[in-house]
Structure formats: C-alpha cells, structure tokens
Structure 1
Amino acid sequence: MKILLIMDPGIPVPPKFYGGHERLVYLFAEEYQRMGHDVTLLAGPDSHCSGQTITFGINSLKRSGIQKLKEIFFVWKFLLKNHSEFDLIHNFGRLLYLLPIVNSASNKIMTYGRRVTPFGIRCINLLPNKNLIFTACSDFCVATGNVAGHWETVYNSIDFENYQLINQVKDDAPLLFFSRLDKIKGPHIAIDVAKRTGNKLIIAGNIPTTPDNIAYYEKMVLPHIDNEQIVYVGALNDMQKNEYLGNAKGMLFPLSGDEAFGLVMIEAMACGTPVIAFNHAAAPEVIDEGISGFIVNDIEEMTDAVGKLSSIDRTQCGNIARERFNVTSIAHKYLSLFNAK
C-alpha cells in the first residue's frame, strides 16, 4: 500500500527537542514502512524518514500568514497532481490541506493531537466529501470536534525502545515534573506537593515565552528553585528523558488546561515511573488507576497519592503502557479504519 503522511512545517520530522506531534508522525512513518508499505512524508525542511521525503515551507513557529498560505498552496498543488497515486493520505497537518481532494476517492485520515476547532469540521462537512475519517488522540479530544463527520479515537504512541524500564528506585528518589513551565501545566503545584511531602523535585521543560506565563514563571516557580530540593534541569533530549524519567519515584501531572493526551505520561510509564495526575482532560483515559498511577482531584489528594507510589509495581506499570500504546497496535488501528467502515 502507498501511504502519504502530511505534517505542517515549523519543526522538522523527527524533532531534535520539542515537537511531540512531529515525533508521532515520524514514528508512524517508520512503522508503516516497517510493515511493508511504501511511505512518502510531506513535511518541513530537514525532515526525513525511511521512505521518500518531500520538504516544503520553512521551519519557524513564528512564520508569517503569507508564508503559511504559500505552504497551503504547495500542498494543494501536490495533492491535485498526485493524490490518486496513494492508497491512504494520512494528514497530521492543517485540515485545509485536504480541501481540493475532500471528495476524491482517496482514503483520507485527518488526525488531531490537540483541541479541535468545530467551525472547520462543520465547514468541510458541508462540502461533498467521501472516504474521510477524523481521528483524535483521546475521547476527550474527539468530543471537542465531533460535530460532524465520522470520528474515531486512536491513542498516541511512543517508541518504547527508547525507554529503559527501571524496576526499582531508591526510597529517596525524586519526584519529577516534566512539561512546559506554563501556569496551566501546574509546576507551582508540583513544587507545593514536593515541599509538603519532603521530596526532592526535578523540574524539566521549556521556560515560557508568552508575557503572562513569563510573569507567572518569575513569580511562582523561579523563586523556589534552590538546586537542592527544587532543581531545574532545562529542556531534555531523548537520552536525558530516559535518565530523568527512569530515576524518578513518580511524575506529577497537575494539569488544569485542555491537554489532548499527554505523551509525557506514557513516556514516564515506559520507564516504570507511575504518574499522579489531576482528573482532567485525557488523563483518566491514559492512567490505569493503581497500576500505572493515580487520578486525583486536588492538591491534597495529590499529596496523599505520593505516599502510595511505593505500592505501584513498576514492571507492571511499564508493561501495561507497552500493551496499550505500542506503535504497532496503534498503526494497525489506523489502517483498519477503512476496513471497519
């Protein structure tokens, strides 16, 4: 089968640091190729995969509206000319990319990894269309866009070969907070929990860039970083992620925003590290209560759950994550969608 994967420019596929969605696209490109399919990747500069790669646009998250319009026209031209060559067109980028071929016979999957804008879904479903399936990475995310069309939940995945399962850690192993240091991610809550429980906390992630979150970080996070109990280690590459995730007794995920999935949760689980998360967004779908972590409702419950981390079997935590979120199973799920129609 010939498969075309599409991703927006801005960050290369695969990314060197930040870029969870780009990492997923690469993972599926490699898996489809490994399964024996003929893969073409259409993505930003410096992208690559084991199949054919066609690059377009520029790598900048701050590129202009005119530049983004040029990118849309590039994809339209490519699809109008070549869509009939592919058995499946799997789009992780803009919905607008599919506009010229929305009513073609080509099998098309539009995949979302973040909150969906219902307006675009309604508009494209007002047009004649066929062989178009919308997917999102959690039931929570599907619910944000399921206003028209055919929707399916297909969970995200990671490359478990990049993570070492650590069966046991020391009693004084640190807690870990690993995310962008924005207010909705809750690093101030993780700091509070660490201080309440007397645990060391490792904070990893990008420092905010928006004015409101910079002010939050400087007031609520930075003053508490003493490099003794509260330690900031910066953004992490894949090797560093494996080290810090694997050597933590637990990861705190006190999210208050609309996280569509939370890849870092299964990255932690892959290392055997349980996750304590607020009962919000997709967290209840990702965490198996008492097996791979705990779902809590507030800071008091999160504090109490830290004391339960030792009851988690880290091997079982890692194994259930591998069973539920391995890339082979998720790729087969995508490829089965049209057979199931």
Structure 2
Amino acid sequence: MKIAVVGLMRHPIAEPFAGGMESHTWWLAKKLIERGHDVNLFASGDSDRTLGLSACTESSLKTHPQAQTLAGEQACNMSAYASAIKQICHGQFDIVHNNALHPLLLLSAADLPVPMLMTLHAPVYPELAAAIQYAAARNASGNLAVAAVSGSLAAQWEPLIKAEIIYNGIDVDSWTFESEPMPNLAMWYGRFVPEKGPHLAIQAALKAGYSIQVAGPIGNKAYFEEKVLPLIDQKQVSYLGHLLHSEVKQALKRASVFVNAPMWEEPYGIVYAEALASGTPVATFNRGAAGEILDDRCGVVVKERTVEALARGVIQAAKLSRYDCRERAESFCHVDSMVDGYERLYRKLIARQRQNERLARQEAIAMNVALASMKSPLNEIEVAS
C-alpha cells in the first residue's frame, strides 16, 4: 500500500522524542516501511528523513521563527497542513493515516481522493470535536474511520463518533529485560508539565524511602523551576536530562519501580509499556488508560490521588514480579499488534472505497444506457417529415 502518514508539526518526528505522539508516529512509519509499504511521512523538515519524509514546514513549530506567537503558530500550522493536503491529492495514495490534531485534515476528509483513518490521541476539546462532527456528517461514503488509542479515550469520544480501539504499542523486543535492578531506585520520565505531575512522583518516591531519577524535556519552564527544581539535589533526586531512546532504556531497566502521577486523563501512557518491557513495575494514579494497560501482576493503580497513597503504591509495586511485567508488555503492548490493527483498518477502508467506485461506475453505465435508449422527440419529428 502507498500510505500517507501525517504527524504533528510542533515537534520533529525524530529522536529524542518530545512525547508519546511523536514516538507513536515514528514507530508507525518505521514498522509500515519494514512491512514493505510505500510510506510518506508528512511532518516538519527536521523530522527523520529515513521515514520517507515529505516536509510540510522547514522546521518544527517549536523552533520555527515565524511560529513564536499564537497567531504565527496557527498560520504556520494551517500552511503546513494545506501543503500536506495538496500533496496527498496529487500523490496517488491508497490511504491517509492522520495522527495530527489539527482540524483542517478532518474538515477536508470527504473531499480527498483517498480514504482517511484518523487516530484520536487526545481527550475531547472544542476545536477537534467540531471538526469530528463535521467530518462525520459528511461521511456518507464511509471513507473516514476513527480509531482511539484506549478504551477510556474511545468512551470520551463516543457521544460524537464511534472509534475502534487500537492500543498503542512499542518495539518490546528492543527493550532489554533486567531481573536485578538497583534496590530502592525509582524513575519518572516524560515532559515536565503540570498535568504530568512529576513533582508528585518525586515526593511519593521520597516518602516511600526511594531515591528517584527523572528525565525528559522541560515543556513548562516556570513549572519546572517552581515545583521540580527545588526537589533535585543530585543525590536522592537526580535529573538526567532529555534522553535518547537508548539512554531511556538503560535508565529504566536499572529502576526498581516506575512512578507516575498524571493529573489528567492520559489517553494511553507509552511510559507504562516501556517500563513493563524493561521488567519495571509501575505505581500510578488511576487516570486515563492506566487501568487498561496495568493489571495487578505488573502495577499498582492508586485510586486515591495523594502523595501518601502513591508512596504506598511504590512500596507495593516494587515487590511485583519483573517477569510478569515483561510478559504483560509482550502480550499487550507490542508494536506489531498495533500495526496489525491499523493494517486491518486500512484494508477495510480501501475495500469500501473500491466498492463505492464500482457502484458509481455501474450507475454511470446504467444511466448512459438509459439515455441512449431514449429517443428525442425532435428526432422523431425529423424522421416523420
């Protein structure tokens, strides 16, 4: 299949990943290429060029000189996705896989010459919800399908549109299992933003008697300096920086437990899958998809969202079998299962479009035959005279 994969423009689709969506899009494109598909990745120009990159903007909007204001970022985003749509219309693709959150692609879905699969990575918010409703209202042909990365996310969107559930996946085989971690060492990594609650994860680890290593990009500098930086002493609490994937793997497998403290309904949580692949059990608040990914053999999902409850969860989780954690990653979190699910939806959408095209051709033929069999009254008059 010739597949157009559309990503976010704010950050590059490249290592080190800014977040889970960038990682998801990178792995999706990589695995589709490995399976023999012809993939074009529509993303920023500083994304990974080994993934069939079709650059829609010179650089990611985070660093783009014309996108440093809200109005500038909106204009750059609009221009980038308009470029993607133009290229898709002339690219003879079989399918578009839309991983972006920008409304423009959805608003254009019914007008594209190819079917579109939209993956929902975010909770309901007004701009995307309006675009979903508009696209659904124009989807008489069935050329648009929607997938959600977890059951909890699909449930949030269900009043607006029905989404098939295809869980995110990671390349479990590339993660090294470690049966003997460093004792009393916890880890947290992700973007340092308030909604991910890293300061609470640090406090819970310390209260449980664990030292903790934290890593990731600083997404909100003011929050990091106010809430996180005062806790970092490079003894009990160490900041490792924004790590490459290979460095994350080394850090995760050393940890006795992964601590998470999401303050929002996280749609999936790729960090859970990566921790489990390393053999590292998880302690986390019960938010978003945590309860779908983790079971009682590999994690402790804390209902009470307090530092004290999470600290107790850290102690309990660290006692769980690391072999059970790895088994859960292999059976539930594998990228091959994710790509299998998307390929199934691609084939379904392509088959539906081809059926629609056959029906349209048959209707056109039938109409032409009907018109040809009809005699014009003027012709009859001429024959009679």
TM-score by length of 2: 0.79
Once residues 68 and 208 of structure 1 are traced to their aligned partners in structure 2, the CA distance between those partners, rounded to angstroms, is 19
1:187 to 179, 198, 208: 198
Q: CA deviation at 1:100?
A: 3.4
Q: 1:220 deviation in Å?
A: 3.3
Q: Are positions 1:41 and 2:41 aligned together?
A: yes
Q: Deviations over 1:240-297 (max 9, x none)?
A: 21111110100111111122111111111111101101111111111122x2211112
Structure 1 residues 79 and 195: CA distance shift in structure 2, 3 A: closer
The equivalent of 1:178 in structure 2 is 189
Q: Is the contact between residue 174 and residue 199 of structure 1 (CA under 8 Å) also seen in structure 2?
A: yes
**Deviation, structure 1 residue 207:** 3.0
Q: Distance in 2 between matches of 1:133 and 1:278?
A: 32
Q: Does 1:30 align with 2:30?
A: yes
Aligned length: 333
Secondary structure at the aligned position of 1:337 is classed as: helix
Aligned partner letter, 1:275: V
Q: In 1, distance between residues paired with 2:19 and 2:301? A: 26
Provide the C-alpha distance between the structure 1 equivalents of 2:76 and 2:88, rounded to a whole number of angstroms: 19
* Paired residue type of 2:322: R
Residue number in structure 1 paired with 2:381: none
**8 Å Cα contact 2:192/2:219 also seen in 1:** yes
Question: Contact conserved, 1:165 with 1:272, CA < 8 A, in 2?
Answer: yes
Residues 272 and 43 of structure 1, relative CA distance in 2, 3 Å threshold: same
Distance 1:304 1:40, change over 3 A: same
Q: CA deviation at 1:36?
A: 2.3
Q: Which residue does the alignment assign to 2:248? A: 241
Aligned-residue offset at 1:68: 1.8
Corresponding residue for residue 305 of structure 1: 313
Tell whether the 8 Å contact from 2:122 to 2:153 is kept in structure 1 after alignment.
Answer: yes
In structure 1, how many angstroms separate the alpha carbons of the residues matched to 2:331 and 2:280?
A: 16
Supply the AA of the counterpart residue of 1:71. Answer: A
Higher helix share: 2
Residue 17 of structure 1 and its aligned partner are, at CA, apart by 3.7
| Residue 254 (1) aligns with residue 255 (2) | no
Quickly say closer, same or farther: Cα 1:269–1:140, change in 2 above 3 A. same
Q: 1:218 to 1:51 in 2, by over 3 A?
A: closer
Equivalent residue for 1:162?
174
Distance 2:162 2:313 in 1: 39
1:132-164 alpha-carbon deviations (Å, 9 max, x no partner): 111121122223333334411111112224321
Instruction: Look up the SS of the partner of 2:240 in the other structure.
Output: strand
* Corresponding letter in the other structure for 1:226: D
For the pair 1:144 / 2:156, whether they are aligned, the reply is: yes
Of structures 1 and 2, the larger Rg is shown by: 2
Report the Cα distance in structure 1 between the residues aligned to 2:11 and 2:35, rounded to whole angstroms. Answer: 26
How big is the alpha-carbon RMSD for the aligned residues of Structure 1 and Structure 2?
A: 2.3
Q: Percent identity?
A: 27
Contact 2:89 2:112 in 1 (8 A): no
Rounded Cα–Cα distance in structure 2 between residues aligned with 1:97 and 1:243: 38
Distance 1:338 1:89 in 2: 9
Which has the larger displacement, 325-334 or 150-159?
A: 150-159
Q: Which amino acid counterpart does residue 209 of structure 1 have in structure 2?
A: N
Q: Verify the 8 A CA contact 1:30 1:49 in the aligned structure 2.
A: no
CA displacement at 1:105 relative to structure 2:
6.2
Q: How does 1:178-217 map to 2 (within 5 A)?
A: 178-209=189-220, 214=222, 216-217=223-224
In structure 2, relative to structure 1, the CA distance for the partners of 1:152 and 1:312 (3 Å cut) is same
Q: Is the alpha carbon distance of 1:164 and 1:182 closer, same or farther for their aligned partners in structure 2, counting shifts above 3 Å?
A: same
Match of 1:296 among 283, 302, 308: 302
- Structure 1 window deviating more from structure 2 (181-190 vs 133-142): it is 181-190
CA 1:321–1:87 in 2, change beyond 3 Å: closer, same or farther?
same
Aligned pair partner of 2:288 in 278, 281, 299: 281
Alignment check: 8 A CA contact 1:2 1:88 kept: yes
Aligned counterpart, 1:224:
231
* Secondary structure of 2:159 counterpart: coil
Are 2:167 and 2:333, in contact at CA under 8 Å, matched by a contact in 1?
A: yes
Q: Distance in 1 between matches of 2:48 and 2:292?
A: 32
Unpaired segments ≥5 residues, structure 2: 350-385
Whether 1:59 and 2:60 are equivalent positions in the alignment is yes
State the alpha-carbon separation in 2 of the partners of residues 3 and 155 from structure 1: 20
Q: Distance in 2 between matches of 1:115 and 1:155?
A: 15
Normalised by the length of structure 1, the TM-score is 0.89
* 3-state secondary structure, aligned to 2:117: strand
Counterpart of 2:258 in 1: which secondary structure?
A: strand
Letter in structure 2 aligned against 1:18: A
Amino acid at match of 2:53: T
Once the 2 structures are TM-superposed, how far is the Cα of residue 340 of structure 1 from its aligned partner? Answer: 6.2
Aligned residue type for 1:112:
L
Say which is worse superposed, 248-257 or 121-130, in terms of deviation. 121-130
Contact 1:80 1:100 in 2 (8 A): no
Task: For 1:206 and 1:33, locate their aligned partners in 2 and report how far apart those are by CA, in whole Å.
Answer: 28
Identify which range, 197-206 or 96-105, moves more after superposition. Answer: 96-105
Q: Write the letter of the residue equivalent to 1:73.
A: A
1:99–1:185 CA distance, 2 compared to 1 (3 A): closer
Secondary structure of 1:56's aligned partner: strand
Structure 1: 5+ residue stretches without partners: none
Aligned pairs for 1:6-25 (under 5 A) are: 6-25=6-25
2:146 to 134, 151, 156: 134
